[in-house]
Every structure is written in structure tokens, then in C-alpha cells.
Amino acid sequence: MPDESRIPVLAGSGQLRANRERAVADAREPLALMTEALEAAERDAGVPGLLRRADAVLAVRVASWSYADLAAAVARRIGARPRVSENTALGGHPPARLLERAAAAIAAGDSEVAVIVGGEAQASVGVLGRAGVDPVAELGWSAEPGGAPELNPGELGTAEQLAAGLFLPTRVYPLYENRLQADLGLTPQEGAAWSARLYSDYSRVAAAHPVAWNREELAPAQVGTAGVGNRMICEPYPLAMNAMPHVDQPVAVVVTSLAVARAAGIPEERLTYVWGGAGADDLPDPLRRTGFGRSEALGVALDRALERTGTKASDLDAIDVYSCFPVVPKLAGLHLGLDRHAVLSVAGGHSSFGGPLNTYSLHAIATLAQRLRGTDATGLVHANGGYLSYQHAIVLAGRPHPEGYVGDPEPERIAHPDAPVLADAAPLAADGTDLVVETLTVEHGRSGGPEQAFVVGRTPDGARVAVPTAPGDTEAAAAFSLAALPEGTTTHVGRTVRLSLRDGRPVVTVPGDVA
């Protein structure tokens, strides 16, 4: 066995749910919640003072409150003086990458104790805003700088994405779902039933999780039927198939070397071994990738993680795949060759467990680590960021890997040499151009009806164009809805539509509409 001082283990974890009742009196800021999760992780390890020994403090970006230097604030709270202090960028992938880097640093002899922490208080921020309560002035929340974080438009997408309206995850992920459905030859009903069953299964997992935000077990019909309380967001996903970010949920894990854990007296049956994993970074703009029916980066990340750890998908006893929208676990399960009925979650998924924005996968890591303790089992956590842009998968086990840590912190870069040219819609619209639909989605308004369609199409010479229907033209949007499929068809993919100008802006319409 390798040197115990070079073998990384998860020595403790803590996670909690707070202010589920959304009471003003119970609202606490993310830093306070994270501090409580860290203290719980230290108690879980059973080693008083362990947090103070942290030589690395790694903090996942908070989306519900602003901190000038969250990692430094965390270090002060726990009395640590770390050599490494890191704050992440926006995205759901950082928790897995932070664990990978912490494990790699221990394997390299550069670290002995690292803490990884994240958390949100979006539910409380919302209720305080509605009540007119100033969190800083009235509740003493941090004011460095405090308030809602500023969001750089560049973090939402490229100029082409912004122009096409494809800067929200709720609009982009359905593009993948609808293309995957077409590629698999599924009817809309079959695709929706798969998604509903998947998320119903997740709700059952969440119902048994003590810190899940929603602990109600849902039948597939409750998940998949759009209506009051479960309105359609962007086809084909009703609300119950979208991540639920309005939660108060913090989580923390403590990573140490096996030598430190044993010297501190932590029993073997309380440890989880970090075998390692790998990641992949795709082009951040999905419009510049080869297609929408698969995710090259997701496949590469999964393959690399399994290859490096010498693991097969069939060897894994538990898997948690990022589930902001159903297409992500669908793509992962298909790539791994798993049965479509496989439940790819240990925490309960973003819709039921809660989608605390950037930290969901850290909850999955903490949950999986506790499940694997004292067993010979292995498990994998997959994390996803951007628009299927940044992927990482990491393997944990209840026993050491024969070679110690075998992961790779550096992601592989994905290139798309066969991607179509992304064309400017304006000159093509000025001349009037036919497009063949590559994929699309229709966004519904709060009233329940189609509001605007977002179409990605190909010109006769194969160039890609992304363009919406005209704002406010609900009739044009409805023509692209799944409810308006031409007789005898099961998808709009492959359909010919028209790109033209309306009021000086490019719009797309179906044949017969007046542009």
C-alpha cells in the first residue's frame, strides 16, 4: 500500500436544511449556515480542533449573497490559517473538482487537512425581500460587500447566445432533451414518461434524506403532468423537472491524509477513500459544438474517471449524476450503458433534494461518503457546470485503492472540428432563408400558454443559426409547441421553417405564418 500520508480520505462531513418554513425570524446568512455545517463535519470526524488544522480552505461560490473573499471568511470562522485559500467561479462542477484537487494535494505531500464548503440561503433571501427586511441593517448579515451578487453578462453566455435568447439554463437544456428524443426515435409521450419516472424515483430517494428540501415522494404523474402548481417552463419540462434553487442548504467535508486520520483516532469504518476522478471542459457556447444529441465532455469525464480508477460502470454500487434537468442523467446513463430504470442519485436530485445552485454535488459527495463507510462498495459522483460545458466525475470507496490516489485534477479540453459554422442571423433574415430545425424549445408564460420559441436551425449550406420567434408573438410560439406537431410526426426536428425580418430583427416562423 502507498504511504499513508499520501492517501486522501474523507474524514468528516456535515450538511443541513435550514428555514424550510421560510420564516423571517429564522433567516440566517450563508456564512453562518456554512459554519454550522463545518462544525457538524468536525463532530462527524470526532476530532475536536480538526478544522483549525486545515492547511487548505476551498469555498464554493455562493449565489444568494456576496462575499469579497468567502474562503478567508470561512478560515476566520474556524480558526484556521491555511496555506491555500480558494474561491470558485460560477457552476455546478467545482465541488467535484475541489475534492479532486484537495486529494491530489494530499497525494503530492502538499496538504494534510483540507476543508471544502458551500451553501445557499436563497429561500431566506427571498422571504426577507418580500418582508422588506434589510439583512445587513436589521439582521447583521455580512456586508463585505453583502447583498445580491453581481452577475457579469459574460457568465451567462456569448454574444451569439444572448442575441438568440439562449442565456438561461431553462432554455438551453431542453434543446438537448428535444434533440435526444428525436435521435432516439421517441415520441414526446415516451420522452416525457422517461423523465417523469426518473424524477419520481429521485423524489423517493429525497424522501429518505434528512436534509432534503422536498421530502414528498411524487408519483410520475405528479412530476410529468403540467398544470396548477407544476406549470410548463420550457418544453418538455414542467416545473417539477427543473432544479429548485430557492433553498437554505449548506454542506462541508473534511479531507485528510490517512495518516492524519489514524493518528487522530478516527476508526477505519468512519473513513471514505478518495480514489480519484477526472474532468473535461467543452466549449462554453453550445452553439459552437458539433450537435445537441449528446455531450462529448460528459462522456469523456466519465470514461476518464472510470479508466483512471480501474472501475467499470457495472462495478459501481451507487452513482449520483447531476440532475438540474432530466437530459443530464439520461445522457450519462446512456453513455454508461445503464438500464433506463437505474436511479442515478444518492441525494435525491435537484428538484426534490434541492438545487442549491453551485453546491449540489458537494451534498452528493457527503451523502455518498457516509453510505460507503465501513463497506467494500464503490460509488461515483458526477458534477456538471455551464450548459453541459464543464464536467467532472470522481470515484469514492469504502476501501483504499491499491495504488492510492489515481485521479487527475486537470480537465481534458474538448474540440469540435466538425462543428458547423455559426452564422449571423441578420443578413440571412434580410434575404429570407429556409432553415431545417436542428432542435428547439418553447417557453411558456405564467399563464400557462406558449410565449416564445427558441430555434436552432441549419441553412441550405449547412451553417447553424439560432433565432427566436418574435417577442409577444404567442401564435408563432404556439406553432412550434409539441401540441402543434404536424399530423404523423413526433418531433419538430428536421422540419423546414422560415427565417425573416420583423421590425428589423431576425425571427423564425413556421410555414403559413406571416413574418
What pLDDT score was predicted for residue 179? 98
What pLDDT score was predicted for residue 152? 78
Flag whether the pTM goes above 0.95: yes
What sign does the dihedral 409-346-36-61 (CA atoms) show? positive
Backbone angles phi, psi at 201, to 5 degrees: -60, -40
pLDDT in tens, 209-240: 999 999 999 999 999 999 999 999 999 999 99
C-alpha cell at 85: 485559500
Spacing of C-alpha 99 from chain mean position: 16
Give CA–CA dist 93/74, Å, rounded. Answer: 21
Spatial contact of 237 and 195, defined as CB atoms under 8 Å apart: yes
Give CA–CA dist 412/389, Å, rounded. Answer: 12
Specify the DSSP class assigned to residue 258.
H
What pLDDT score was predicted for residue 293? 97
Delineate the domains of the chain, giving CATH numbers in brackets: 4-141+245-413 (3.40.47.10), 425-509 (2.40.50.840)
Give CA–CA dist 508/515, Å, rounded. Answer: 8
C-alpha cell at 436: 431545417
Give CA–CA dist 235/242, Å, rounded. Answer: 11
Quick one: angle between helices 70-78 and 30-45, nearest 10?
50
What pLDDT score was predicted for residue 512? 67
What pLDDT score was predicted for residue 513? 56
Mean pLDDT by 10 residues, the chain (515 residues): 94 98 98 98 98 98 97 98 97 98 98 98 98 97 92 83 96 98 98 98 98 98 96 98 97 98 98 98 98 98 98 97 98 97 97 95 98 98 98 98 98 98 95 96 95 98 97 96 95 97 93 58
pLDDT in tens, 296-352: 999 999 999 999 999 999 999 999 999 999 999 999 999 999 999 999 999 999 999
Q: Work out the number of other CB atoms within 10 angstroms of the CB of residue 139.
A: 16
What pLDDT score was predicted for residue 515? 43
Spatial contact of 437 and 493, defined as CB atoms under 8 Å apart: yes
Give CA–CA dist 515/499, Å, rounded. Answer: 9
Q: Is 376 left (phi over 0), alpha (psi -120 to 50) or beta?
A: alpha
Q: Would you state the torsion angle of the CA atoms of residues 1, 395, 92, 292, taken in this order, to the nearest 10 degrees?
A: 140
